Structure formats: C-alpha cells, structure tokens
Structure 1
Amino acid sequence: MKKLMPKTALWVLLAMMTFAAQGLTLGAARTDLYLPLLKNKRVGMIVNQTSMVNQMHLVDYLLAKKVDIRKVMAPEHGFRGDAGAGETIADGHDEKTGLPILSLYGKTKKPTPAMLQDIDILIFDIQDVGARFYTYISTLHLVMEAAAEQGIPLIVLDRPNPNGRFVDGPVREEAFASFVGMDPIPLLHGMTMAELAQMIKGENWISHAAALSLHVVKMANYRKDQLYSLPVPPSPNLPNDQAIALYPSLCLFEGTTVSVGRGTPYPFQVLGHDKVKLGEFQFSPQSLPNSAPYPKLEGKVLFGMDLRHASLEGFDLSLLLSTYEQFKRADESFIDRPAFFDKLAGTDQLRRDLEAGKSEADIRQQWQPALTRFKQQRRPYLLY
C-alpha cells in the first residue's frame, strides 16, 4: 500500500487563491450568455444545494431577475441536499419560493412528459465530483433524453470537476450499465458536466440525440490541472475536499463488508471492520437520519484506517488490494455484494482479477487500450 502522507492545508489554500486570482467564473454566473434564452419562456430547473451563484441559490437569483421558473426537479439527495444516499426523494414544495419540487430519484428518475408539459426550456446546474458512479451524471443523461424526446431545449451551466486531473479506471462495459454507470466512460473520466453533455449527445448515447437542442455555458478561466475546493458539499456523505478526493478509491468498498465511515462525522475518510482489523483507528457507525439512516455495521466497534489526512487521490487501487488480501488471510467474506461491486466497477474483470491475485500493475495494464480509445473519443467535446 502507498505511504499515507499528510496533505498540506497550505497547498489547498494556495490552489484556491490561484483560482480566485485568475477570476474563475462559473457557467451560472455568465448570465449574459443564457438569460436571453429564457426571455418569455417557462423554465424548469434541475438543481440542488450546489447550484449557487454570487452567494445566492440559482433559483432565487433567477427569480429576482424575473425569470418565469415553473418547477424544480431534484436529483439524489434532494433539492436542499439533505437526504441520504439511496433515499427515495418525495415530491413537494419549496418552503422559500413555493415552487413545486419534483423528484428525479426514487421511482421516477427520468422526467416524464407530464412533468415537462408546461415547460419551454430546461436548465441543468449541479456540481459533480468526476466519478462515473456519482449519480448526478446519470440524472443529466436522463434529463437530456427526456428533453430530446419532448423537443425541449436544455441549457447546461458548467462547474469544475474537482477530480478533473484524472482519467483512470475501467471503462464501463455494456453488460454493467446501471444508474451508477449509465455511459461507457472510465471510472474517472476527467470531464465537466458540460463536456459530458456534449459527448452524450455527440455519441448518440441517448435516444433522439440529434433532435436535442443543447446549449452549454462554459466557465471562464478554468483549468483542469488546478485544484478546486467545492464551496458547498455536493452530498451529505461527501462533506469536504478530502472525502471528494478519496471517493473514487473508496466507493468500491460499498460492495464489500467494509465500512467507509457512513454514519460517522467522516464518511469516505475512514475504512474499518469489526472482524478483520485493518488498522488501529476505532470508530462506530451510528444512524444519522440526514446522511446515513442505516449505515453498514451500525453500532459495532470497527478497527481500521483514518484517512482524513492521507494524500491518496485519483483512483488508488492499493487499499482495495491490500484489504482484499487481509480478508483472504482471515478467511472472512469481503465482496458480499458482487453484482453491486461489478456495477460500480463497470465490469466484472476487476473482481475476477482480485480473486485471481493479480498485481496492481497487471490490473491497470488491462485498462490502457480502452482508456486510450476513450481519450481520443472525448477529444471533440472538451472545452478546457
């Protein structure tokens, strides 16, 4: 396993200051590029708590500019971002604005014709984290398809990808398509939402792709090789920059018996188990209604690793490989949800390679041809 080194807070601060000095402007803040498209239009918003512009929520911001917003459609975790992973989101009304809130997570993940019947144009503005299994990009895919089928134009307001420096991991195979892997992209795709939207349309990954009127509003002064600290947590279990950096490497543990810290103050920043001692750090998951109502290994004392100051980033395989070997030696069950593990990985090859005892180098080598093809395929859609 790679050596875990402290992450320097000054490094992150300097990166944030660099962005500020260069005048990074989010797509949502470039109103001159999209407000004219909203004139005399009935607008539907696909947004959540990350949809902030100039210290205001985009919905409030546009209402103040007299935009005729008719309804809000909310992805996983809800409009205000206070629902736990996998929780069904209920329809309702926003207390502040009175706008109807329609769920795009639960029984209805794709906007229905009835949901769109009084809408002239849609706006999508949600912060992503750059991992294929983070479901906001699946919501984007389905919103694009619904817009194309109903002949409704879609505006995508772009935001940074905090893991945008990386293109890594297996490319999702067709047999493993799911809501945690809608499109044939790598685990880390290195694209922003607007770039992905252009690729989804351009590669005909949705029905009626050619009919979709897609307008993307790119950011100004953005570079993928620089760090970006998210001002608003994108979901309850990714509360800070460290969790977001570790998420691509730790999410596969969701298909195993190991806890990644759901039900603690530090989700996706620790690893632990009650029967296999993965380290000296102790924690005990508890039910947290707004983020982890039923956490894995709830109430048990777990022994593992505190990764809150680890320098792991991108898609690190070392933790998965070393943990698998520890469970194998202890003769304990590790991957207890193989079908889900494979959906997260986008392939069953990674699980089979683990079981076969292959090295990290051999596993990574198998990905390279598909990654090379993907990088060439995505090139026409890149904006930065």
Structure 2
Amino acid sequence: MKLTKLKPFIYFLSVVLLIISYSLTTSARQEEPIPGADRPELYLDQLQGKNVGIVANQTSILTQSNNKHVVDFLLEKGIKVKKVFVPEHGFRGQADAGEKVDNTVDSKTGLPIISLYGNNKKPKPEQIADLDILVFDLQDVGVRFYTYISTMHYLMEAAGEQGKKVIIFDRPNPNGDYIAGPVLKKGFESFVGMHYIPVVHGLTVGEFAQMINGEKWLKGGLKVDLEVIPVAQWTHSTVYNLPVKPSPNLPNELSIRLYPSTCFFEGTIVSLGRGTHFPFQVYGYPDPKFGDFTFTPVSIDGMSKNPPHQDKKCYGIDLRGETLSHEFTLKYLLDAYHKSGKAQAFFNNFFNTLAGTDELKKMIMAGKTESEIIASWQEELKKYEILRAKYLLYN
C-alpha cells in the first residue's frame, strides 16, 4: 500500500486513540473520591452572609480546583472567613509532633490564626463569640491517637456550648477499611485518646463527628448543631492516595498504613525513624542485636527536631518493603521487646497512654503471643463494630 493511501488511515487511527485516551482519563478522574470541600454546591449558600471560623491546615485543599487552599477558595467566593483555627503541626504543617504552635497571622490573607494545640486545645468563648458557623476541614488518618479528632471534639463542644453550628467537610480515611487494636479504657483518657474506641476506628471525621454527637460524648451530654458534607465516589474499601501529607512525619501512603502499628514505639526506648526521611517505616535501637538495617536519626527542619537517639547509629528493621494492604500488627513491637531483654525498662510512661489501657503492656511482659493478645480484645471490637455501623455514611 502506498504511503499516500496510508495517511488517512493513520490520521483516523490517531484520532480514535486520542478519543480513547481522553475517555479513559475522564473516567478515571470521575471515579476518584471527591472530598467534601470539593462539593461547594452543598455548602456555599449556607455560608453566604455568615461570619465563619474554620479549622484548617495544609491538607485543607480542593483537589478538583488545582489544590487551592479551602481558605483562599472561600474568600474568593465572598465568604466572610474571620478566623482560622489550627491543630497540632500548625497551619502549614511544619511543626514537629508535640511542638508548641503559636497564635499568629496568615501572611497571605491577613487572617488571625489561633492555635488549638498546647494550652488552648478548646476554643474559648470569646474566640468564637463573633462567629456564626464553624467549619472543620482536616485530613485524618483514622487512628485514635492521631490528634485531629480530639481537636474536632473540642471544637464541637465549644460550638455546642455557644449555640454555634459546625459543618464538617468530610475526607476519605486511608485506614478506613478495617478496625483493630485495644479499645480505650476509662481512666486512660488524654488528648491522644479521648474516646472509647479502638486504635484503628474505621471512620471518617464526618462519621466520627456523628458518633460523638449521637453518643453524647461531649461534656455534659451536649449535642451540637452538626452537618457533614460527605465525600462522593468513595467507600470504606476504596484505596485513597492523599494529595498532601497529613503531618510532617507521615510522608507517604505506606507510612500512614504502618502508623497504627509503629506509633507504639513512641512509648518505648525504640526509634521509629523520626529524624530520617522514612519515619514510621523502620524501627531500631543503638544495639546491633536489633537487626541488620542501620539508620542514624538527625534533626530535620520541618520534620523532627531532636529525635530519639539523635546522631546515634540505630540497628533494626526496614519496613519499606511492606505492601499498602498492611493492617495493624503487634509483631514489630513484640520483636523489639524480646530483642531488648529490658522488660519494664523497654517502656516509657507514654506507652499506656497510647494504648489506652495498661493491659497491653501487662500481656507483653507476661509473654503472651500476638494471637493471644489480639484475642483478648475481640469482644470489645465486636461491640464497637455494632456501634460503628450506626454512623457509617459510606457502606
């Protein structure tokens, strides 16, 4: 066949391929989860003419609008945003875990930024007196000791006391496909565990807000005027890749999936990789008996200042080969505990706070296996699963 006869066919084929490529791209885009913030048709009307305060940070973006920050978006739409409240890690997500977050002013918008971490975890009456509606838009990771849900609890409580409405811009939970871990016991409440739920609770922030409200967990059994702007095109079995890391030391999807398991090392002598660029994805200690993999924690601006075992070579295990289907496990914790040979000295005072109970530590020290320990909390998980089902928005 001559080249001149082939040209129309080649042109036709290229057009067909372009159409197919566009269709596949559009279909994939349409099937991606759409967070609540990306659904302004559900909330803009009721925000118009109101004085609005918002809890936001670096994760509060509209993915359908070129990752525009929700505060900038609302201001562009003429919404009277008066104040921005920020959780642990601050407005831009640069503060290390536990680091003080100060009140300041946003250089871009001139809005006052009020910290809800440290001594002011709950908004004061005077801080919300001039507001009509409080919006909460943070990307959570579905783990009890991740403090954003504690910030949400206090926001709801303050709003309920002052008769203010709360609107939750819901977002997918990257650990929302299962529940696991010990349920928090009375007497172990703290900012890293305020509610009687398991370590992996399997709820979005919107679903969890409904549980807090429905179970009357706010102070004095108070209920707040609450509305959830739901995620579209998402279920609890949908894989979700976060467009922005939720906090400085959760840099990727694997760290988020490993976080429920490796965060327990915060309550021990063992490093979980703070001071490296792969935190929560390794564990180790300055002793060769802990493993063949080595890493040296250093101070990293914007991630970890003065990390455990700073500038010391740690020996341990590299977990970066794990898959994203990873679920909660105690095997890393038990492995490090047995290698240490330190018994009680392996733990610090934070361990029981993280666990939400003293039973886990007792069972580890008694030599219980992982299966025995996990079996001990199954009845409580079954009860929680029944409770959780009442508040699911994405079956």
TM-score normalized with structure 1 length? 0.92
**Deviation at residue 43 of structure 1 after TM alignment:** 0.3
1:317 is matched with 330
Measure the CA separation in 1 of the matches of 2:60 and 2:305.
Answer: 25
| RMSD between superposed Cα atoms in Å | 1.7
1:306 is matched with 318
Closer, same or farther in 2 for the Cα pair 1:168/1:195, shift >3 Å?
same
Closer, same or farther in 2 for the Cα pair 1:210/1:33, shift >3 Å?
farther
Q: List aligned pairs for 1:41-60, cutoff 5 A.
A: 41-53=50-62, 54=65, 55-60=67-72
1:268 is matched with 280
Measure the CA separation in 2 of the matches of 1:56 and 1:203.
Answer: 35
Q: Paired residues, what number?
A: 366
Measure the CA separation in 1 of the matches of 2:317 and 2:30.
Answer: 37
Contact 2:340 2:346 in 1 (8 A): no
1:115-149 superposed Cα distances (whole Å, 9 cap, x missing partner):
11111100000000011000001101111111111
Q: Which has the higher contact order (CA 8 A, sep 6+)?
A: 1
1:6 is matched with none
Which residue of 212, 224, 232 maps to 2:236? 224
Corresponding residue SS for 2:45:
helix
The amino acid across from 2:75 in the alignment is: L
Measure the CA separation in 2 of the matches of 1:113 and 1:297.
Answer: 42
1:66 is matched with 78
Q: Which runs of 5+ in 1 are unaligned?
A: 1-15
Q: List aligned pairs for 1:1-384, cutoff 5 A.
A: 20-53=29-62, 54=65, 55-207=67-219, 209-275=221-287, 277-311=289-323, 313-328=326-341, 331=342, 335-337=346-348, 339-384=349-394
Q: Which runs of 5+ in 2 are unaligned?
A: 1-24
**Deviation at residue 23 of structure 1 after TM alignment:** 4.0
Measure the CA separation in 2 of the matches of 1:147 and 1:98.
Answer: 24
Measure the CA separation in 1 of the matches of 2:326 and 2:130.
Answer: 44
Measure the CA separation in 2 of the matches of 1:319 and 1:334.
Answer: 17
Contact 1:141 1:197 in 2 (8 A): yes
1:282-335 superposed Cα distances (whole Å, 9 cap, x missing partner):
11111123221110000101111111222372211111112111112xx47653
Measure the CA separation in 2 of the matches of 1:105 and 1:249.
Answer: 24
TM-score normalized with structure 2 length? 0.90
Closer, same or farther in 2 for the Cα pair 1:179/1:19, shift >3 Å?
farther
Contact 2:104 2:113 in 1 (8 A): yes
Closer, same or farther in 2 for the Cα pair 1:50/1:292, shift >3 Å?
same
Larger Rg: 2
Closer, same or farther in 2 for the Cα pair 1:28/1:157, shift >3 Å?
same
**Deviation at residue 34 of structure 1 after TM alignment:** 1.0
